[in-house]
Amino acid sequence: MLISKNSASQYPGYAAAQRAVSLTSFAHDHHALKIDCMPQPAKPKIYHIVHVDRLPSIVACQGLLCDAEVLRRCAPGTTIGMSSIKQRRLSELSLTSHPGLHVGDCVPFYFCPRSIMLYLIHQANHSELTYRGGQDPIVHLECDLLDTVAWANAQGWRWAFTLSNAGSRYFEDRADLACLTQIDWEAVQAIHWQSHKEGKQAEFLLENQFPWNLVTRIGVKRAAIAHQVAQALPSNGHRPVIETRADWYY
C-alpha cells in the first residue's frame, strides 16, 4: 500500500519509520565520510616510548624486551609506566587471538607518537605514576608495521593489534592485517584527542622481544637528548636516524 505525504499523519508509525530511515542514512553517510577522510596509512608506523637511560640495555639485548622479560632479567633503566597496569597486563589480560598469551608477554607499541601515555608523563600528576621526570628524557622508537609483521611471521613469533588500550579489561584484538581498517585512524592521528581516547590508544603487540635492527628512527624532544641517544648507540652496529621532533611531544 502506498502512503502519500498528505495522508501520512493518519498512520502514526509512518513518521517514526521515516525518521529511523533518515537517521540510518545519516549514520551510514557519516561513517563513509569518516573512512574517506581518514584512510588507513599505506605504510603504518608503530612507536614505542622509553626513557633515554634504558637505551644502553636495549642495545645490549639487541632489542626491546616485553615487561615479563624486563622483570626476569632485571634490565636496568627507568620504568615510566604505571605499575598496577603493568601487573594487570602481566597476569590478567590475555589475547583472544592468541589464547594464553598475556599482554605483558608482548612488546607494546602505539600507532602514533605523542600518545596519551606521554601526556600523563608530561603532566606528572597521576597518582599511579611513580615516574615524575617529565617528557624531555622520553624517546620515541619508530618502526614500520608491515616490515615488523613480515619479520615476526618469518620467525614464527605471535603478534596482534588492539582497537583500544590493551591495559583495559574490555579491549578487542586482531591478528589479521586485513582487519587494520577496524582501527579508528582518525582517533589515532588526532592532535586534540579528548573525544577520541579509546581509539587513540590502539596498540600493536609483538611476542617476547622486538629486534633492534627494525627500529628505523628515533625521535627526541631536544638536541641534548639527541646527543645522549647518539652516545648510547653502538659505534659499529645498527644506528637508526635520530631526529629532533618537537611535534611528537606536548
CA distance 134 to 138: 8
Chain position carrying cell 590478567: 92
Is 27 within 8 Å of 185 (Cβ atoms)?
no
Rg (CA), the chain: 22
Is there a catalytic annotation at residue 203?
Answer: yes
| Structure-derived torsion over alpha carbons of residues 226, 57, 78, 199, reported in degrees to the nearest 10 | 80
- SS3 (DSSP) at 162: strand
Is there a catalytic annotation at residue 88?
Answer: no
Q: Which of 89, 114, 158, 245 is catalytic?
A: 89
Look up residue 203 and give its three cell numbers. 596498540
Q: Which of 54, 142, 158, 203 is catalytic?
A: 203
Positions marked active-site: 89, 203
